[in-house]
Structure formats: structure tokens, C-alpha cells
Structure 1
Amino acid sequence: MPLTSDRTVRTSPYRPVLTHATLRRLLPGFTVSSLGDGMAVVAVSWLAIEIAPAAERGMWVALAAAAYTLSGAAGAVLLGRFLRRRSPARLVACDALLRATALGAIPVCHALGVLSIESYVALLALSSVLHAWGQAGAHTLVARLLPERDHLAGNAVLSGIGSLSTVLGPPLAGALILWGGAATVIAVDAATFLVLAATFLFGLPRDAAAPAAAEVASRTAGFAVIRRTPALLGLVALSFAFFCLFGPVYVALPLYVSDVPGASAGLLAAFYTAFGVGAVLGSVLTGYLNRLPVWPVTTGVVVAFGVFLLPTGLGAPTAVAVAGFAAAGLLWPPYASLSTALFQRSTPPELLPRTLAASSAVRVLAVPLGTVLGGPLVAGLGARETLLASAASIAVLGVVAAGAVRARRKSGP
């Protein structure tokens, strides 16, 4: 048994990632900030429910959830001229510092009694302005520090840390909300981003933090790379539609849970935690998928993801609905990690930060757009019916995408 265990460790695709000297310094900071964000998943919508006018809860929950990510898309495009020559480490640090400052202002204003729902949404929007660049910086570092064969494993480790945070974060948030309110959870989230900023400002050797010498290009260079690479363009289109159709879940699920007799933030946390448990397992499996073709996996994931969300929309018993979220979570890391690995393989190194930021901008725009649409959908259809429409649409999207890929391959040279 010991020999078998040793061999498993030596042959694990994650060993080069976890034993890399520089990444070992960075991963604890990622872990802390991801835990804070896992808690904020519950707190952001719950604080909106607490402070919004009762008649307008659906609209403000949608706006709050969208604001937490939407402005990152604008930042990816409009701030390129200022950020394109920053090193990947500086991009992550700048994003973390802005998040810590803007999120930290929310509990301060709440404690002073001056936090309106409008100012709350504005501060959430400000906090995410640099998030696309922060994500691009993190994955660019993975691509630079590791050989190509280890990129998928590196992406899976980052995804796994985020997934683990959705397991631990929501129940912690539920407990903190009962003790000190949702604003307390957001204060903790702000503090975790200070830890991440310090990690990247002081935890990297200078040569690892420096930008590549050849990094000079226009602010739209990342979009140009995507536009002229059919595989990347198709993947971005699929991701945009997938995430947009998933967006209404962020509005419908909290309202669906809040309408359950006797429900509390703990039940909402249970859904997110189940999703996170599945995602942790999915992250572990992702590193072993390096030889699988991207398109069959990604389109298959989209189909199955929609199918697993159907029980909630169909009004299944709570245990079945939560299990469906866990199964959907299992599929999230393979999709995200394989997509990022395709970008890392297909993009010139000097253009990778801008290309990843452009891709992130498209995806970041998709979820809030779907989230904003979730408000009218919930008002018109109801929370459960909106969940059903979202799940069915995602499954149909995957089927259509798989058919389009197959038709293109048959008609190709």
C-alpha cells in the first residue's frame, strides 16, 4: 500500500503545480480570498434582500448580483491602455486592492446607517472593475510558470480552490449572517482580498512578477486574437450563451428559497455548498482529462449541466434539487479549466493577458446580463418557473452546439 500511494503521488498531474516554489507562495493567498468570495455568494444577495424595498426585491437582487461582476467587462475593454503593460502579479494585486477598498466601504456605511440600496449596488460595481484583469493575471502566471503539459492541472488547482470555497464559504456565511448580519460577511470578504494583495505584492520573486519584454499591443489586441482564431471564437460564443442562460439562477434561487416556508439563508447556503462539493470533485478529476478533445467535452458538459438543474425547476423535493446542484457543480471545473487551457495553448505569450482579459470580459458580461434578465423573468413567470426555463435552455444550447460542431467537421476539408 505505501508503494502504491507513493507512486500515485509521483504520477499525479497536480504534483508539478503543488511543488512549484513560486506557486506554493501564492496558493495560500488565493485560498483565503476564495473563501471570502465563497461567503459573499450568499451575503451579496441576502443583504440586498434585507435593505431593498419589499416590493422591488427581485429587481434589486438582480442588480446587486449583476453589479458584483458586470463592471469587470467594461474594465477589461476601457482600461486596457493603462493595464496592458502591467505584470500578471500586479494585475492580481490591483484587482485585490480595489475589491478590498470598495467592499470594505459597504459594512462601514451600513454601520453608520447610510447604506442605501443604490449606494450598495454602486460599491459592488466599483469592486469588480478590475476583476477580468485579475483573473487574466492569475492564469497568465500559471501559463508562464508551468510547461504547457501542466497548464490544465494548474487551472484545475485554481478552480479547485474556488470550488472548495463554495463548500466552506456558504455555511460560514449562513452562521455569520445569523450572528452579525450579511454586512459582516462582506467585511470579512474585504479583509481576505487584502491578504491576496499582500501575497502578490510581496510573495513573488522579482523576475516572476516582471512583464514579458515583448508585451506591447493595442488595447483591443485580445479581441483580435479571438476573432481570427475559429476555435477560440466558437468557445467564447458557447460560453457567453451558457453563462447568460445560467444568470437568472442567481436571482430565482434566492427568491425561490426565501418563499419556502420556514427557510432561511441556511437553505440557500446548502444549494451553493452542494454545488461546491461537486465542483471540488470535478476539479480533482479535471487534471486527468488532458488528452480528451475540447469540443465533445465542453458541449457534453453544457447538456448535462442543464439536465442536472431541471429537478429544482420542476419543484422536486429539496434533497433531490440539492443533489442536482451537486451534480452540476461536478461539471463546472472541467468546462472552465479546459476552456482556459485552449486559450493558453492558442495565444502568443505576449498577448495572453489581454486575450484572457477579453475572454473574461465576454463571460463576465454574460452572467450579469442573464442575471438582470432574471428580474423580469421572475416577476413574469415566478422563481421556480424561471429556474426551469434556465435549465431547459442550457440543455438545448448544448445539443445545438454539439450538432453545429459535428456539421462543421463533416463539411470541413
Structure 2
Amino acid sequence: MSKSTGVPSATANRSYRDVLRNKRVAGLLLGDLLANIGTGMIIVAMPVQTLRIHGRIPPAIAIGMVEAAPFILSTVVALGIGLGRVRIPPRTLLIADCVLRALTFTGLGLAAVTGRLSLSLLIGGLLLGAACRMAAAGSRRLLATSMAEEPERYGVNALLGLNGNVALYVLGPVAGGLLVAAGGPGVVLFADACGALLLLACVLRWVPRTGAHAETGTGTAEARTAGTAAPTDSADARQDESGWRILRRRPVAARLLVVVFFFNFLYMPIEVALPLYVQGTLHSGASGLGLLWGALGAGAIAGAALVNLMRGLPQRHLLVAIIGLWALCPIALAAVDDLTAAMIVFALGGLVWAPFTPVSYSFLQSGLRPSEQQPVVTLWTTGSALAAPLGLVAGGPLIQLTGTGTGLVVSGLLTLLLVPIAAVSVLKRGVR
């Protein structure tokens, strides 16, 4: 395992086709895709729902509150796992998340279609229903990579990113826009609950309770030695070092976490601005918002395909380049007032954005021992995702005060300032 650069050789990392031959990994990836489609519908539906029930609260503030709600309680739960020493089996966490999400979103859907959904009830439901969200996100990645051999890990991370891009920004928003137009945003809440149930079925079918993968030929002793031993649901789950303590021994990974945090933080005002930008500047509605997210996803699909071709490139330099190129996207978006032009800009943004998550996670996991995977990946996922509620909370007042166009420019300019910081932090050599 490389210790100095985190740069895999072109022969070390296997292609998407090789990864998908593993039936267990393919089954979990299918469930992940279906669940993310439901979440992608929510991206379109919740701003529309919020604008209907925000009352006296300014629209930008209300959207920021609703967007931030799913992250708050889930951050507390995930930090408890990442910073503590208790190891909850990833499979158990993922099942709990599916059940909780399905029940909560069904309840919110019933309240919405009967006209009883208030802003406070929506925020409370999102807060509770996503309590395991961050921990489960890390669990999906851990389970998928643990069922694969080490040379397949890069491809698994890339396919997880491809799932997210296709579902969250193409299939989900397009389907969500159609459902909102046909039946209202409340119907989409039921769709998200169904997505959670489909993921639950795939987990129960394809993810084993133990690390035995006899049917697929993976999970061998050699693979476990390489750092791909599967998490188990055994009662004696290890209580080892905290993720924070492990990261302190790997300064490059710790510095990269800081960079990822601020990259995500500076992106979040865009999510607050986008519904208002579509409604005001582009003079469109839910369908326009869905098309814009769909354009981002279409670009991200192309970017994900490039990830498969970039297996041998230096990952550190690639991450810094992505940050700089993405920063230009919101600046360019603020300069256009036509839906078609905005879709082109957002598609190019998706093309640039797509490789960031799979490359950063593959870089991180390549330097971890099996016992370190869950605490570090959970802490990493939480630390990077923590930027979301903070960025949304900050983005609401920013967009309210500056307007959508200026807010988009500010987001892009601040991200540009992150480039030299990222270069110094990530390119600096040091012990992982």
C-alpha cells in the first residue's frame, strides 16, 4: 500500500466493469441508486414546499432552515461514532436509517397531502428522519468497499459517486419536477420513503451479516490483510481508537478533511440561491429547477466516466484542480439569465465536480487499516457533511442580504481563495 503519495498506479485500480462483476457490491449499488433517486426528488420538492408554507419567515431563510434540518441531529449521531470508541456495525446503521427514513417521510407525506404540514413540522420531521443519515452514508461506502478487493476500491468509490450524480441530479430532480407538477411536493415525500424501503431490501438481500463472501470470491484473507475486511454485525464489534486520534497520526488526511469541509461549506449558498435564481432571474418554476439539477447531473455523469479513466493520475493535484475549476461555475451562473445557458454552465460544473468525492475517499481509505476504516470514514463523512448545515445557515442570510446573483459570485470567489490553501495543505508531503 502506498504511503507517500496516495497515487494508485493505472494497473492497481480496476475498471467499473470488473467491480460490477461482484454481485454483492452490484446489489448494494443498485439499492444506493434507488434511494438516491428519492433524495434527488426531495431536492426539487422541498424548496417548492417551503415556499408554500414559509409564512412570515423570509423565503431564503426558510429554505436555508429546511435544507439544514436533515444535517443537525445526524451530525450529532455521526460525531458520536467518529469521535467515540463504540463501533456500531455499518449494516445495522444502514438498516436503521432506512426504517427511520421510510416511517418519517411517510408521515410527512400524509401531513402534506392533507394540508396539515407546517414549516415547523417539516423541519422537525426532516430533523428526526435523517438522524442516521450521515452515519449511514459512511456505512454505505464502508460496506461497498469492504465487499470488494483493494484494487476495486477506487472503482467502488467512483461508482458510488456516479450513483449520487445520476440519481441526485438527473433522475431524481427530473422525476421530482414531474411529480411536483402533477401531484404537488407532498407526493414526493412518499417517493423518498419508497426509495428508503428499496435500499433496505437490497441491504437485507445482498449485504451479509458477517464478512464471509464465499459466493463472490472476495473477502479473502489476503484482501483483509490489505485493508478490505468487511464490517460485521457480531456482538464483539471492536472498540478501538477514535477517528480523531487516528487522523492526528495522518496529517495529510487531516489537512484534506479541512479542505473538503470548506469546499462543501462554500458550495452550500448555491443551494439556497438556486430556487430563487430559477424563480426570479430565469422566470421558471419547479420544472426549471429540475432541469437545472438535471443538467448538473448530466455533466456529472460525464465526469464520473472520466473518473474511470483517471485511475493513474496524481490524486492530490487532481483535487486542487477540481476546486479551482468548480469555483468558476457559480460566477458564470450569475452572469446568465437564460435557462438554456444556465443549464450549460451547470452541466460543466457537474463535469468538474464529479471526480472530487470518489478521488478524495479513495485517497483517504488507501492509508487506513481495517480497524480504522469505520471511525475515520464516519468522522470524515461527518466532518465534510457538517459543512452543509453551517453553509446553509450562513447562505440564507447571505442570499437574503446580497441577492441571488451577488451571492453566487461571493460563493465562487471565496472558493477561488481556497485553491492556494488547498495546494499548500494537500500537496505538502508528510506522513499520512
Same structural fold, with TM-score higher than 0.5 when normalized by the shorter chain = yes
Which residue is equivalent to 1:395?
416
Q: Which amino acid aligns with 1:257?
A: V
Distance 1:12 1:232 in 2: 23
Q: Map residues 32-71 of structure 1 onto 2, 5 A cutoff.
A: 32-53=34-55, 55-71=57-73
Q: Which amino acid aligns with 1:31?
A: L
Which residue is equivalent to 1:236?
257
What displacement does 1:343 show?
Answer: 2.1
Pick which of 118-127 and 142-151 moved more: 142-151
Which of 135, 139, 145 is matched with 2:137 structurally?
Answer: 135
Distance 1:84 1:101 in 2: 26
Distance 1:112 1:319 in 2: 36
Distance 2:321 2:83 in 1: 38
What displacement does 1:289 show?
Answer: 2.0
Which residue is equivalent to 1:6?
none
Task: Say which SS state the counterpart of residue 247 (structure 1) adopts.
Answer: helix
Structure 1 residue 197 corresponds to structure 2 residue 200: yes
- Seen in structure 2, the aligned counterparts of structure 1 residues 111 and 321 have a Cα distance that, compared at 3 Å, is closer
Distance 1:339 1:306 in 2: 18
8 A Cα contact 2:275 2:289, kept in partner: yes
Pick which of 208-217 and 178-187 moved more: 208-217
Task: Say which SS state the counterpart of residue 188 (structure 2) adopts.
Answer: helix
Which of 376, 380, 402 is matched with 2:401 structurally?
Answer: 380
8 A Cα contact 1:306 1:394, kept in partner: yes
Deviations for 1:21-52, whole angstroms, at most 9, x for unmatched residues?
21232232122111111111111221111111
Q: Which amino acid aligns with 2:188?
A: V
What displacement does 1:255 show?
Answer: 1.1
What displacement does 1:321 show?
Answer: 2.4
What displacement does 1:265 show?
Answer: 0.8
Deviations for 1:219-246, whole angstroms, at most 9, x for unmatched residues?
x711221222111111100001100000
- Seen in structure 2, the aligned counterparts of structure 1 residues 230 and 384 have a Cα distance that, compared at 3 Å, is same
Output the TM-score relative to the length of structure 2.
0.86
Output the TM-score relative to the length of structure 1.
0.90
Which residue is equivalent to 1:176?
179
Which runs of at least 4 in structure 1 moved beyond 4 Å after TM superposition? 79-84, 211-215, 403-406
Which residue is equivalent to 1:223?
244
Task: Say which SS state the counterpart of residue 87 (structure 2) adopts.
Answer: coil
- Seen in structure 2, the aligned counterparts of structure 1 residues 404 and 261 have a Cα distance that, compared at 3 Å, is closer
Task: Say which SS state the counterpart of residue 309 (structure 2) adopts.
Answer: coil
- Seen in structure 2, the aligned counterparts of structure 1 residues 70 and 328 have a Cα distance that, compared at 3 Å, is farther
Which of 232, 244, 247 is matched with 1:210 structurally?
Answer: 232
What displacement does 1:365 show?
Answer: 1.0
What displacement does 1:260 show?
Answer: 3.5
Bigger helix share = 1
Structure 1 residue 305 corresponds to structure 2 residue 307: no
Task: Say which SS state the counterpart of residue 189 (structure 1) adopts.
Answer: helix
Q: Map residues 11-410 of structure 1 onto 2, 5 A cutoff.
A: 13-53=15-55, 55-78=57-80, 84-165=86-167, 166-208=169-211, 210-211=232-233, 215-217=237-239, 221-260=242-281, 262-315=283-336, 317-403=338-424, 405=426, 408=428
What displacement does 1:16 show?
Answer: 2.2
8 A Cα contact 2:252 2:425, kept in partner: no
Distance 1:70 1:14 in 2: 34
- Seen in structure 2, the aligned counterparts of structure 1 residues 315 and 193 have a Cα distance that, compared at 3 Å, is same
Count residues in correspondence.
399
What displacement does 1:207 show?
Answer: 2.8
- Seen in structure 2, the aligned counterparts of structure 1 residues 347 and 57 have a Cα distance that, compared at 3 Å, is same
Identity of aligned residues (%): 27
- Seen in structure 2, the aligned counterparts of structure 1 residues 331 and 204 have a Cα distance that, compared at 3 Å, is same
Distance 2:426 2:192 in 1: 41
What displacement does 1:328 show?
Answer: 1.3
Which residue is equivalent to 2:10?
none
- Seen in structure 2, the aligned counterparts of structure 1 residues 110 and 337 have a Cα distance that, compared at 3 Å, is same
Distance 1:401 1:261 in 2: 34
Q: Which amino acid aligns with 2:121?
A: S
Q: Which amino acid aligns with 2:191?
A: V
What displacement does 1:112 show?
Answer: 3.6
What displacement does 1:201 show?
Answer: 2.3
Stretches of structure 1 lacking an aligned partner (at least 5 in a row):
1-10
What displacement does 1:301 show?
Answer: 0.2
Which residue is equivalent to 2:219?
none
Task: Say which SS state the counterpart of residue 207 (structure 1) adopts.
Answer: coil
Task: Say which SS state the counterpart of residue 141 (structure 2) adopts.
Answer: helix
Distance 2:171 2:188 in 1: 13
